[in-house]
Amino acid sequence: MATIAKPLARPRAQEHEDPRQYLMHDPLPRGQMNAMVMEAMHTTSPIFWAVTGVLVLIVLFALGYEWYILIMQGQGTAGVLRPDYWGVFLVNTVFWIGISHAGTFISAILRVLKIESRRPFTRAAELMTTFGLVQAGLSIFMHLGRVWLVYWMFPVPNERQIWPVFHSPLMWDLMAITTYLLCSTMYLILPLIPDLAMARDRTEGGWQKPFYRILAIGFRGTEGEWKNLTTAMNIFAFAIIPVMFSVHTIVSWDFAMASRPGWSSTVFGPYFVIGALHSGMAAVAIVLFMLRSTMKHYTYFIRAEHFNTMGMLMLLVSMAWAYFYFNDYLVPWYGGDVWDKLVQEYTEKGPLGYLWYTMLICNIAVPWAFLWNQKWRQTPWLLAIVGLLINVGMYLERFIIIPVGVTINRMPFTWRQYEPRIEVPMTIGTFALFLLLYMLASRLIPLIPVWEVQEGQEAHMIRKIGKAEVSTLSDLE
Amino acid sequence: MATELGMPGITNQTEEEPVGRWGMVIDQDLCTGCQACVAACAMENNVPIVGEEDAGYGRYMHWIRIERLWESEDYPEVKMTPFQPMLCQQCHNAPCEPVCPVFASVHSLSEDLNLQVYNRCVGTRYCGNNCPYQVRSFNWRDYNDERVHPELVTLHNQMNPDVTVRRRGVMEKCTFCIQRIHKAEDKAKSEGRDVQDGEFTTACAQACPTNAIRFGRLDDPESQINQIAATHPSRAYRALEEVRTLPRITYLKGGA
């Protein structure tokens, strides 16, 4: 085990700063951490069940009853009309795929780059990926006019020998989202196996015992098993990064490949990826705040330093997003297309112009105003509010691109304003389903990767070099 | 030279002019905006009546519409553009076709028209989004179902038996009255000849009291529409030529 003196991501600023404020320098015995995570998983308050009940009711109403109405009566119950063939359902799709990006970004890219402060919340972020993609897929199904024939878009051999059209960006989209869902689910399950084995060994009986026994697939923690698991996780961590970047690029091509003014732009690919990270990072901050304030013992695992990391990432991504947004203006200005100009004028000065200003304030002004200060970044509730505002801004950004931008097309006779109808309860339904899945998962699987935290704590050490105390990190591999 | 790329009808050659069997010429100077074509098209093609509420929201489903825009709204100089009937342009390079994931929006090789296969459509509405002319209408509800619209039951007696009645969730659009094309072709085939120009016409052209809309053979240089287009070279244009969809409808500029 080679020991290298390597500064932490953020070196200790003051001499008197207590190193124990960092999770990596505040180790607990493995058994105690296991017990804490298990207890957090088993603690449910009446409020938890009340919120779960309300969410179940919302989901049943919005995704059961309202969707039934939508299917039986047609898309006319939604607000879509002639120039705005695409409405809030596709806004939701893009939004939820964006949310799902942060999970992969945090767990794969930060794992590959060995950012140490990622350790306690990789799983929380990965869960967001999987559950966010579920909402995105559902939103696509809501959008279809004849959802009961959705399998015609799948490459299923049939007697008519009709294959899906692979020229269509929608087919690329379908393939990309399916690949991403599959990869991210596997990437969620792989690091989960040791923790499921831990949960299996600490469960006495009941239905949970066989549940964990099946999910842990007989993991015992031998040297060989760890070796295989680490190899698999490394392969996935590297392999999922291009998948992640490609998914949102391909989602953006749904729009960029269309010959509509305002959409047909080559910058949409990277712009959508950055936008996805922007909303995703903000969502991770919200989730971290909620986990920390509701789950027992999680104040030990999720600390100010993690909010600090998230805050820095959010600020960075916000700046990148601002650049791309500016760039999105540069290209039409350079091209000088009259229709592009009309779309921009409509989004800024049209009847929904206030959405555009709100978007800029939420996406740029708020993070830049509040995230430059370390003290503020380390305040969980402040970060959660900033994250919420960023997500409002990013939702509005997609709303402006899809139903607002589409109002302006090359046939001025058809210009008409879109207003969401049944989309509103169904959108609330997807949010409720996301929260519900997350709440149920938080009581079924250990949300903190204990083995990953312990691995990090073993590797970190405070050494005295001369008179200075230096934080060192041994490279385990 | 054009090379086959393994897909029917797709070559590596860029066409400069639309080719095809059927085309239209619409003279905007002759159009009076009477909307007879809109009514005739709706009768011929079973275009549903969407009802007061949906029509008010802008969900009209007509396959043809008469467009007229303000040229100047300021009081003494109030001026409007000439009427422009807008229908599916049957583009040679149709943007609606490649984006459909299920082959519902396809190009007919025998008729050289854009077709919409209603039974194949799953309702992604990508074609409608990608159509620069915004002429594709979507069945937002089951407008033709008497259980949904009991007040329309009596109107079902006037439905054209040659045309499918579409259900909710599918896209539809102008077909150049393909049922009439087929009828004429069948008749000509049984008589052992080719379809003559002017032998039949579409519902909109038939109903037009001023003959502003004329339909005919595009591939025959002697046909009426080609003659009319040739006699007004300064007025002839195609809608949104800069998108390079190569539409098969030629408009003759009005008010000049």
Residues from chain B contacting residue A142 (CB–CB below 8 Å): none
> Helix (H, G, I), strand (E, B), or coil: what is residue A375?
helix
Residues from chain B contacting residue A412 (CB–CB below 8 Å): 69
What pLDDT was estimated at residue A26? 86
Chain-chain contact of B168 with A145 (C-beta, under 8 angstroms)? yes
What pLDDT was estimated at residue B13? 67
CA A207 to each of CA A204, A292, A443, B213: distance values in angstroms, whole numbers, following the listed order:
10, 28, 14, 74
What pLDDT was estimated at residue A113? 85
The residue in chain A having the minimum alpha-carbon distance to the alpha carbon of residue B125 is A85
The residue in chain B having the minimum alpha-carbon distance to the alpha carbon of residue A253 is B99
What pLDDT was estimated at residue A363? 94
Chain-chain contact of A411 with B67 (C-beta, under 8 angstroms)? yes
pLDDT band per the 50, 70, 90 thresholds, residue A11: low
Segment A268-285, tens digit of pLDDT: 999 999 999 999 999 999
Quote the mean pLDDT of chain A: 89
pLDDT band per the 50, 70, 90 thresholds, residue B8: low
User: Which two tokens mark A268?
Assistant: 């949409």
Distance CA A201, CA A287 (A): 28
Segment A238-257, tens digit of pLDDT: 899 999 899 989 999 999 99
Distance CA A51, CA A159 (A): 49
The domain containing residue B43 runs over which residues? 22-252
The residue in chain A having the minimum alpha-carbon distance to the alpha carbon of residue B137 is A82
What pLDDT was estimated at residue A476? 58
Chain-chain contact of A412 with B58 (C-beta, under 8 angstroms)? no
Write out the DSSP string of A65-129: IIHHHHHHH-GGGSS--SS--S-HHHHHHHHHHHHHHHHHIIIIIHHHTT-GGGGGGHHHHHHHH
Residue B177 lies in a domain: yes
Residue A19 vs residue A269, higher pLDDT: A269
Distance CA A237, CA A215 (A): 21
Residue B6 vs residue A117, higher pLDDT: A117
Nearest chain A CA: its distance from B193 CA (Å): 33
Nearest chain A CA: its distance from B89 CA (Å): 13
B243 touches chain A (CB under 8 A): yes
What pLDDT was estimated at residue A292? 92
- pLDDT of residue B19 exceeding 70: yes
What pLDDT was estimated at residue B162? 92
Residue B211's domain is classified under what CATH number?
3.30.70.20
What pLDDT was estimated at residue B152? 78
The type of residue at B16 is: E
Chain-chain contact of A165 with B141 (C-beta, under 8 angstroms)? no
Distance CA A17, CA A20 (A): 9
Residue B4 lies in a domain: no
Residue B12 lies in a domain: no
pLDDT band per the 50, 70, 90 thresholds, residue A232: very high
* Closest Cβ–Cβ partner in A82, A168, A413 for B67: A413
What pLDDT was estimated at residue B92? 87
pLDDT band per the 50, 70, 90 thresholds, residue A440: very high
- pLDDT of residue B7 exceeding 70: no
- pLDDT of residue B59 exceeding 80: yes
Residue B14 lies in a domain: no
Residue B215 lies in a domain: yes
- pLDDT of residue A18 exceeding 80: no
Structural domain total, chain B: 1
Residue A155: Cβ within 10 Å count: 12
How many interchain CB pairs under 8 A, A with B? 136
Optimal mutation site among B38, B100, B106, B134, interface A, most CBs of chain A within 10 A: B134
Residue B81 lies in a domain: yes
B122 touches chain A (CB under 8 A): yes
Residue B1 lies in a domain: no
* Closest Cβ–Cβ partner in A144, A162, A258 for B130: A258
Segment A29-87, tens digit of pLDDT: 999 999 999 999 888 889 999 999 999 999 999 999 999 999 999 999 999 998 899 99
Residues 48-77 of A with CB under 8 A from B: 73-77
Residues 196-225 of A with CB under 8 A from B: none
Residue A185: Cβ within 10 Å count: 15
What pLDDT was estimated at residue A15? 54
B139 touches chain A (CB under 8 A): yes
What pLDDT was estimated at residue A317? 94
Residue B249: Cβ within 10 Å count: 25
Residue B2 lies in a domain: no
Please, which residues have CB within 8 angstroms of residue B147's CB and are 6 or more apart in sequence?
none
B240 touches chain A (CB under 8 A): yes
Segment A346-356, tens digit of pLDDT: 999 989 999 99
CA B174 to each of CA A66, A214, A285, B159, B216: distance values in angstroms, whole numbers, following the listed order:
33, 57, 51, 16, 16
For the residues A391-410, what does the mean pLDDT come to?
A: 92
- The rounded percent of chain A whose pLDDT value lies above 70 is 96
Segment B23-44, tens digit of pLDDT: 999 999 999 999 999 999 999 9
Residue A333 vs residue A281, higher pLDDT: A281
What pLDDT was estimated at residue B46? 92
Residues from chain A contacting residue B54 (CB–CB below 8 Å): 76
For the residues A80-106, what does the mean pLDDT come to?
A: 91
Q: What is the ipTM of this complex?
A: 0.90
